[in-house]
Amino acid sequence: MALINIASVIAWGYGLFLNGKGRQADAILVICTEVWVHSVCAAIFLGLEVGFQHYLWAISALAILNTRLNYLYASFYSLSFILTFALLYLLCADVSYQYKYSEYVEAVHFINIMVAGIPFIISMMVIRFISVTQEDAMAKLASLDSLTGLYNRRMATEISLKILQQASRSGEPVSMALGDIDYFKKINDSFGHAEGDHVLCEVALFFRSRLREADIISRWGGEEFLIVLPGVDGEAAYSKINKICQFFEKEVRLESDTSYVAQMSFGVVECTPGVTFGECLKRADEALYLSKEQGRNKVTLSKN
Ligand SMILES: Nc1nc2c(ncn2[C@@H]2O[C@H](COP(=O)(O)OP(=O)(O)OP(=O)(O)O)[C@@H](O)[C@H]2O)c(=O)[nH]1
């Protein structure tokens, strides 16, 4: 057993080394093999009294995390440790060993059961961590625009509907501004698509820095942005958007030609109670169309 203990320490060291190198599947293989050999040898030479066989349950959970194996093989691999556990009880039940300090055998058995539970808990923790992280990532992917990081149309609609419902209950005003970058096609055509993407990101940053936390900023489509301003009436929204537009030309720059001035047109609407989100959007769009018609780089407030 002394030799096995030395080999164990080396195997664990190697397993941890592999894990540190990002080779988790190899690390699991090394550790599972070591624990299997150790448990079987302990049962054969010392019997079941000290409880080393309980570690087989722990590695059966760990074995499932070996992603190099497909689900079926991982299940068989894991099951082989439980089978070993059961066989040890059949084959080694009569093995006994004369310990020098036999009064401690029960305590060692107890400790082994407890320690064997730790990898089991860690395995479950890893699974939980991975599933929570993936859920968060999926939720993010489903709600954010991948280029600008702003809310996408689906999420913006969901949040806006909630804001409008809340506002109709509380009587608080809500306004909406639909903005569109002027002659965006020209930016793409003259400076390239990557430059166009850069401008879209700059616009997103601009809105984030110039608007409040409570304002909902979203990429509504191609080069269109929808901003929902809770607690703000139409006139206030109109002057707020006009005010931030003064900074637009200074703060939104091309990467390759900083002398190029990007501009934007807006349609602003106050969402009066009882008017649906779709209707508000339509009126904002009509106001935006007027801004474009009247020469662009302009904000138009929709008249009720
Ligand atoms: N770089 C880039 N371009 C995009 C993206 N989405 C849409 N576009 C481009 O945006 C352009 C929109 O062009 P138009 O609808 O003609 O509008 P515009 O040139 O901005 O003209 P006005 O809106 O009338 O001022 C098209 O060339 C699209 O290809 C995107 O994610 N990245």
Predicted ipTM of the assembly: 0.96
Tell whether 128 is covered by a domain: yes
127 lies in the same domain as 165: no
Tell whether 148 is covered by a domain: no
Confidence of residue 12 (pLDDT cuts 50, 70, 90): confident
Nearest residue by C-alpha to atom 28 in ligand 1: 185
Interval 260-299: pLDDT, tens: 888 999 999 999 988 999 999 999 999 999 999 999 999 9
Ligand 1 pocket at CB < 6 A: 147, 180-186, 188, 193, 196-197, 200, 222-223, 292, 296
Question: For residues 219 and 202, is the Cβ–Cβ distance under 8 A?
Answer: no
Ligand 1 atom nearest residue 188's Cα: 1
55 lies in the same domain as 109: yes
90 lies in the same domain as 210: no
Q: What is the CATH number of the domain that holds 244?
A: 3.30.70.270
DSSP tally for the chain: helices H, then strands E: 10, 5
List the catalytic residues: 223
Given 94, 123, 143, the domain boundary residue is 143
Instruction: Give dist(CA 66, CA 260) in Å, integer.
Output: 54
Residue of 223, 254, 285 to mutate, ligand 1, most atoms within 8 A of C-beta: 223
Given 143, 163, 192, the domain boundary residue is 143
Ligand 1 atom nearest residue 184's Cα: 20
Range of the domain at 194: 153-301
Number of structural domains in the chain: 2
Given 143, 169, 194, the domain boundary residue is 143
Nearest residue by C-alpha to atom 12 in ligand 1: 185
Q: What is the pLDDT of residue 261?
A: 87
Q: What is the pLDDT of residue 304?
A: 67
Q: Of 238, 189, 243, 199, which is closest to residue 219 (Cα–Cα)?
A: 199
136 lies in the same domain as 165: no
8 lies in the same domain as 51: yes
Nearest residue by C-alpha to atom 5 in ligand 1: 222
Q: What is the pLDDT of residue 122?
A: 82
133 lies in the same domain as 209: no
Tell whether 279 is covered by a domain: yes
